Amino acid sequence: MLAFNPYPCVIYVLRINCPTATVMIAYNGQAAQDAFVLSVTKSKRNGTYVEIGSNHPVEINNTFRLETIFGWKGIMVEYDPKWLPYYIEQRPNSFHVIQDATTIDYAAVFTAAALPLDIDYLQIDLEVTNKSTLVALQLLNAQVMDTYRFATVTFEHDIYRGDYFNTRAESRAIFESRGYIRVFSDVTNLNSAFEDWYVHPDLVDMEYVSKIQRPHSISYLDVIAILATATGTSKDPI
């Protein structure tokens, strides 16, 4: 069995698929990305995802709860082969790709994984300093984004580390050219702006999105508070 020390996470009460029951969900995302995805997709069951830069299959993993609680399936892309045995053990429903994310034929992988044309979540979390973050997005843009769409996206640009390869501006231009709406810009963790979060307006409830969208940089803890207010849930950071 894979041993790990649980990271601090955020728990808040979420009403799921039953008007008379509440379920406590402990979100595993690094900065509640999974809470954002579930909020926007309305706690969707049996969704799909593409996670580029998976790392640990459980700890601060943005798709662990999606797969294990909500029945989602998807692709996990990871460069380091040491994680593969743990993916097989802990994430058996995922399609595991152990390869440099900048060398993948994404069209072939999406076909092999039998992904639908409308995918519920895309994560890109790589290394901005070696350009892999931007190159992976450019490959997706060239290979699959004419055909596939993503309901929600979290993209790690790590602008707090420096403006490497103009990654933040270049990524925003790509997503905007594809019609994506930036819901949260420069999401911060410990006062460091590191991600942008998007939706595709054709695949989500834009009336709901308009309630939570903010035009300025925002702490992920404030995002959680906004999601809790918008959905009528409560939150309890631990």
For the residues 22-42, what does the mean pLDDT come to? 84
CATH topology of domain 10-237: Rossmann fold (3.40.50)
Q: At what angle do helices 167-177 and 132-143 cross, to 10 degrees?
A: 20
Confidence class for position 232, pLDDT limits 50, 70, 90? low
Asked if the model's pLDDT at residue 16 lies above 80, the reply is: no
> Average model confidence (pLDDT) for the chain?
89
User: Is the pTM here over 0.85, yes or no?
Assistant: yes
Residues 180 and 187: their CA atoms lie apart, in Å, by 17
The count of C-alpha atoms lying within 13 angstroms of the C-alpha of 144, restricted to the half-sphere facing its C-beta, is 22
More confident residue, 156 or 26: 156
Asked if the model's pLDDT at residue 13 lies above 60, the reply is: no
- Tokens 């580390």 locate to 161
Asked if the model's pLDDT at residue 237 lies above 50, the reply is: no
Least confident range from 8-12, 16-20, 52-56, 86-90: namely 16-20
- What is the predicted pLDDT for the residue at 7? 36
Task: Assign 90 to helix, strand or coil.
Answer: helix
